[in-house]
Amino acid sequence: MAMDLLRFATAGSVDDGKSTLIGRLLFDSKSIFTDQLESVEKTSQDKGHGYVDLSLLTDGLRSEREQGITIDVAYRYFATPNRKFIIADTPGHVQYTRNMVTGASTADLGLVLVDARHGLTEQSRRHAVLLSLLRVPHLVLCINKMDLVDYSQEVYNKISAEFTAFATKLNIPDLEVIPISALQGDNVVTRSTSMDWYSGPTLIHHLEHVHVASDRDLVDVRLPVQYVIRPKSDDHHDYRGYAGQVAGGVLKPGDEVMVLPSGMTSKIAGIDLFDKEIPEAFPPMSVTVRLEDDVDVSRGDMISRVKNAPEPSQDIDAMICWMTNAPLRPRQKLAIKHTSNSARALIKDIQYRLDVNSLHRDLETKELGLNEIGRVQLRTTKPLLCDPYSKNRTTGSFILIDEATGVTVGAGMIND
Amino acid sequence: MTATHADYRLSQLDQLEAESIHIFREAAAEFEKPVLMFSGGKDSIVMLRLAEKAFFPAKIPFPVLQIDNGLDFPEVAETRDRWVQRLGVRLVIASIDDAIARGIVVDDGKTSRNRLQTPTLLNAIEENGFTAAFGGGRRDEEKARAKERVYSHRDEFGQWDPKMQRPELWSLYNGRLHEGEHMRIFPISNWTELDIWDYIGREGIEIPQVYFAHQRRVFERDGMLLTETPLNPLREGEVVTERTVRYRTCGDMTLTGCVESTASTIPEIIEEVAAARVTERGATRGDDRFSEAAMEDRKKEGYF
């Protein structure tokens, strides 16, 4: 069986022991190299720290080390014999929501850390809300520092029950609560000998076995066309292929398909992956599809099924996370990028601002500030081929770009 | 028979490949004048292979750029030329010697050629009007790279500002540029050293011979094993011995160290890399050793 891949996002601040946990995962899976460890040991010593500060492993930039904070999402890699892991490590201090949303956007699993001594905090609830908003299908709550509460089952049960109750208000299809001590190594990679009452998996066992293949939509065919391949050479004179990454469904030669927004129909003549014809394509494969008829298809179009196609629409209702200092206001015009399509968008209305701590909807505010999330109505210059984000994270998401600065200022998730 | 989800699983290498191909197609569609920075090292060869796959059966729709520092391993240059010829891509060469002769960069005799690559590269990008340059950087290589975007925006001086990076969500890449700016694009950001080797093995692609164990006359400097070459005169006390070595990275011959190894096939290399306890840059890159932030500083100036 070939190795597969799990992308997960970690949330929490240094105080929760997040860096120690990541350090332990990397260290126990032999993903920290001696030169990296030596450099961290030397820096810890130079700074007069009493212990090896594993957070130095993850703080990559000079200004971060100088200020002792993490500025940006950092990506880390480790592997066990069956799975490769990509961690999007998001900092707890500055630009919190923006970074967390960025890290969670590509994650299959979200890992939230709480300190067993303090239980759930406003921050841990916020982490869960953001992971749910971004539709990260699997969530793991790690109750850390169990060693400091005498490995108490009571503490575990209390926090677990409280979090489970809170999670019912959110969209979290799969939740696992694991008692750990990142510092002592309990239930991270090796099973704890101090918590006989816990019969669930260790963290690494869960990360290795959580089933993510079924998270992909294999029913609703969606192929956003990125690039039209026309070789213009004698060998491939008539070749015309539509290249893209499958965002949903399974495509097979002979399937009847519809091209949007034109609505023209044809049949799949063949699917190419480099120099081979393949019998079927499914997400997240990058393939090239040939059609039987000479229909007009270009970048930004979508190949889907005749009776199952996204609705072309210029009016979009979405949750938007705002990521820049100047607030988002009605009547503002922005560039929008959705799949392989670009257009301009006008902010028609800001319906409410969501308080990510209380889930309260503030209907009074008519603007979104930095790191705020709200429900927004937009009108686009041309129809976009949208699905609800809850159905498809690729065709249901978009980014907003400031046309003057070129900076990405918002992330959008299309509502049902 | 109804298919189950278990039938529709992609291995991690296939997922990485699909992501990289997506990035190549996206950039080729959105940028007016992209170029691929091609050193002939293993990472840039894997990049070229992915680009070949992304546009097949059409040719790669952009040229490749080589920075000639005059200090490349001859084997690397030969492999590079064969790849360029086989794929029929246009090769743009920017040479440091030429840049020095034209007064674009100043060789003060103290600065390493590695450092002179940056202004040479930036000048080549500007002169050719390239708006995007694909690079083979990987996030597992170094901690400044771990925080860099796939689309890494460069201002009109070619500088990287780590604190002002654009958020990058889902697989939606923002390629907006102002006049004079360009984008560095890293299609293999999420690959690790081991992934690169697994892929080279799986695809059976040609890489320079220096990656495999061979006999070489070497000497020790700053804890690294460097090759004997007239380009790198021996200092006092340095002694040349013949050893069985291979290279984990291929950079400037005078600064890139080799490791003692008997790994002469791809499976042996994979086994060695999997067991390695030192990062490839830590082990063999003199250019990263000047300070803890050596890579960060060079990146800010516009290095690869």
Structural domains for chain B: 11-194+293-301 (3.40.50.620), 206-288 (no CATH)
Q: What is the pLDDT of residue B293?
A: 60
Q: What is the 3-state secondary structure (H, E, C) of B126-142?
A: HHHCCCEEECCCCCCCC
pLDDT digits (tens, 9 = 90+) for B113-144: 777 888 899 999 999 999 999 999 999 887 77
CB contact (8 A) between residue A60 and residue B143:
yes
For residue A115, give the H/E element and its range.
strand A109-115
CA distance A146 to chain B (A): 31
CA distance A104 to chain B (A): 9
Q: What is the pLDDT of residue B143?
A: 75
As a dihedral over the C-alpha atoms of residue A58, residue A61, residue A62, residue A68, rounded to 10 degrees, the angle is -50
Angle at B102 between CA B98 and CA B103, to 5 degrees: 115
SS3 B295: helix
Q: What is the pLDDT of residue A14?
A: 60
Q: Mean pLDDT, to the nearest integer, of A284-303?
A: 96
Angle at B284 between CA B98 and CA B199, to 5 degrees: 90
For residue B84, which phi and psi values (nearest 5 degrees)?
A: -60, -40
Query: Which residues on chain A are in Cβ contact (under 8 Å) with B5?
Result: 213-214, 216, 218
As a whole number of angstroms, the distance between CA B205 and CA B186 comes to 20
CB contact (8 A) between residue B292 and residue A3:
no
Cβ-proximal residues to A267 (8 Å cutoff; 6+ apart), any chain:
A254, A255, A256, A257, A291, A292, A293
As a whole number of angstroms, the distance between CA A78 and CA A24 comes to 11
- DSSP lists the bridge partners of residue B81 as none
Query: Which residues on chain A are in Cβ contact (under 8 Å) with B53?
Result: 273-274
CATH 3.40.50.300 intervals, chain A: 4-215
- Going by their DSSP bridges, the two strands A4-11 and A109-115 should be labelled as parallel
Using 70 as the pLDDT threshold, list the residues of chain B that sit under it.
1-6, 277-299, 302-304
Q: What is the pLDDT of residue B16?
A: 97
Q: Mean pLDDT, to the nearest integer, of A172-189?
A: 93
As a whole number of angstroms, the distance between CA B53 and CA B44 comes to 14
Query: Which residues on chain A are in Cβ contact (under 8 Å) with B142?
Result: 60
A11 band by pLDDT with thresholds 50, 70 and 90: confident
Q: What is the pLDDT of residue A383?
A: 95
CA distance B55 to chain A (A): 7
From the candidate CATH numbers 2.40.30.10, 3.40.50.970, 1.10.287.70, 2.102.10.10, the one assigned to the domain spanning A223-305 = 2.40.30.10
C-alpha atoms less than 13 angstroms from C-alpha of A89 in its C-beta half-sphere:
30
Q: What is the pLDDT of residue A56?
A: 67
A16 band by pLDDT with thresholds 50, 70 and 90: confident
Amino acid present at B1: M
- Which strands form A109-115's sheet, in the order they lie side by side? A74-79, A83-89, A4-11, A109-115, A138-144, A174-179
Residue A52 has pLDDT above 80, yes or no: no
Nearest CA in chain B to A71: B163
- What are the angstrom distances between the C-alpha of A409 and each of A333, A388, A402, A404? 12, 21, 6, 11
User: Helix B193-203 crosses helix B42-55 at what angle (to 10 degrees)?
Assistant: 60
CB contact (8 A) between residue A243 and residue B54:
yes
B72 compared with A361, residue with greater pLDDT: A361
User: Are B182 and B224 contacting, i.e. CB atoms less than 8 angstroms apart?
Assistant: no
As a whole number of angstroms, the distance between CA A168 and CA A162 comes to 10
User: Are B55 and B134 contacting, i.e. CB atoms less than 8 angstroms apart?
Assistant: no
Query: Which residues on chain B are in Cβ contact (under 8 Å) with A284?
Result: 10, 15, 18-19
Query: Which residues on chain B are in Cβ contact (under 8 Å) with A216?
Result: 5, 8
Question: Could you tell me if the ipTM is greater than 0.85?
Answer: yes
CA distance A82 to chain B (A): 10
CATH 2.40.30.10 intervals, chain A: 223-305, 311-414
As a whole number of angstroms, the distance between CA A230 and CA A237 comes to 8
Q: What is the pLDDT of residue B279?
A: 66
Amino acid present at B299: K
- Pick among B143, B192, B203 to test the A interface (most A CBs inside 10 A): B143
Query: Which residues on chain B are in Cβ contact (under 8 Å) with A76?
Result: 140, 146
Nearest CA in chain A to B49: A274
User: Are A181 and A144 contacting, i.e. CB atoms less than 8 angstroms apart?
Assistant: yes
pLDDT digits (tens, 9 = 90+) for A107-138: 999 999 999 999 998 888 888 999 999 999 99
Q: What is the 3-state secondary structure (H, E, C) of B258-278?
A: EEECCCCCHHHHHHHHHHCCC
- What are the angstrom distances between the C-alpha of A301 and each of A199, B28, B251? 50, 17, 42
For residue B27, which phi and psi values (nearest 5 degrees)?
A: -65, -40
From the list A4, A39, A272, the residue facing B292 with the nearest CB is A39
Q: What is the pLDDT of residue B1?
A: 39
Nearest CA in chain A to B53: A274
- Pick among B20, B26, B171 to test the A interface (most A CBs inside 10 A): B171
For residue B226, which phi and psi values (nearest 5 degrees)?
A: -110, 155
C-alpha atoms less than 13 angstroms from C-alpha of A140 in its C-beta half-sphere:
25
Query: Which residues on chain B are in Cβ contact (under 8 Å) with A325?
Result: none
Nearest CA in chain A to B299: A61
C-alpha atoms less than 13 angstroms from C-alpha of B7 in its C-beta half-sphere:
11
pLDDT digits (tens, 9 = 90+) for A85-106: 999 988 766 567 888 899 999 9
Share of chain A above pLDDT 90, in %: 69
CB contact (8 A) between residue B22 and residue A335:
no
CB contact (8 A) between residue A397 and residue B192:
no
CA distance A282 to chain B (A): 7
User: Are A150 and A50 contacting, i.e. CB atoms less than 8 angstroms apart?
Assistant: no
Token pair, residue A227, equals 């690039």
Q: Which of B260, B222, B256, B255 is nearest to B241 (CA)?
A: B260
**pLDDT winner (highest mean) among A2-6, A367-371, B142-146:** A367-371
- Going by their DSSP bridges, the two strands B132-134 and B182-185 should be labelled as parallel
As a whole number of angstroms, the distance between CA A306 and CA B21 comes to 27
As a whole number of angstroms, the distance between CA B213 and CA B210 comes to 7
Token pair, residue B55, equals 């546009």
Architecture of the CATH domain A311-414: Beta Barrel (2.40)
For residue A163, give the H/E element and its range.
helix A153-167
Q: What is the DSSP string of A223-256?
A: EE--EEE---SSTTTT--EEEEE--BS-B-TT-E
Q: Among all chains, which residue has been given the structure tokens 């990559």?
A: A60
Q: What is the DSSP string of B156-214?
A: TT----GGGPPP-BTTB------TT-EEEE-TTTT--HHHHHHHHHHHT----GGGS-E
DSSP letter assigned to residue B235: P
A69: how many CB neighbours lie within 10 A of its CB? 15
**pLDDT averaged over chain A?**
90
Angle at A199 between CA A193 and CA A203, to 5 degrees: 75
User: Are B272 and B253 contacting, i.e. CB atoms less than 8 angstroms apart?
Assistant: no
Nearest CA in chain B to A214: B5
CA distance B216 to chain A (A): 25
CB contact (8 A) between residue A226 and residue B29:
yes
Nearest CA in chain B to A336: B174
A212 band by pLDDT with thresholds 50, 70 and 90: confident
CA distance A118 to chain B (A): 31
User: Helix B42-55 crosses helix B12-30 at what angle (to 10 degrees)?
Assistant: 70
CA distance B237 to chain A (A): 26
Token pair, residue B186, equals 């890293």
DSSP letter assigned to residue B103: T
Q: Among all chains, which residue has been given the structure tokens 């260790």?
A: A202
Q: Any idea which fold A4-215 has?
A: Rossmann fold (3.40.50)
Query: Which residues on chain A are in Cβ contact (under 8 Å) with B296?
Result: 60-62
